[in-house]
Amino acid sequence: MSTAMNHARLLTLTARKSDLEYKITNVMMTMQALATQQTVLSEQKYNYVQKSVQNILTNTGDSSAVSSTDSIIDYIANSEYATSFDAQLASLEAAQERLDLEKGKFETEHKAIVAEEESVEKLLNSSIKKEFTDGVSE
């Protein structure tokens, strides 16, 4: 009878382990999508700043404006449009951190289940050996 109970427990653990692996995979895919969004936003901000600097330098027509490029970049980077990029990036980073914590939780539970699964497998194997040796000696 203990063999049946151990086998049922092993099946339950295997199902839970598979469920956790699926959840970890989903979290990883979501994290990858967020990383892609972060890259796109960073590229958009870079292009915006680059195009804005180019427009300012072209419109001034003054080569002395080149010396003030740092202040122009600071001005553009702190503009409302650029700040919107920063807010979106911060939001994506917060979501990334939340997902990282969730992934860590799933991985911890997965490790515990793997350890318990190994323990149940040992119990199941010893139970099977005992039942067969008891059956042979009778």
The pLDDT mean for the chain works out to: 85
What pLDDT was estimated at residue 35? 95
Q: Does domain 2-137 have CATH number 1.10.287?
A: yes
Distance from C-alpha of 124 to C-alpha of 1, rounded to nearest angstrom: 11
Report CA dihedral (120, 124, 125, 130) to the nearest 10 degrees. Answer: 140
- List the domain boundaries for the chain: 2-137
Distance from C-alpha of 111 to C-alpha of 118, rounded to nearest angstrom: 11
Provide mean pLDDT across the span 90-115: 96
Provide mean pLDDT across the span 121-128: 88
On the question of pLDDT at 62 being above 70, the answer is: no
On the question of pLDDT at 113 being above 70, the answer is: yes
- Greater pLDDT, 78 or 3: 3
Distance from C-alpha of 46 to C-alpha of 135, rounded to nearest angstrom: 76
What pLDDT was estimated at residue 90? 92
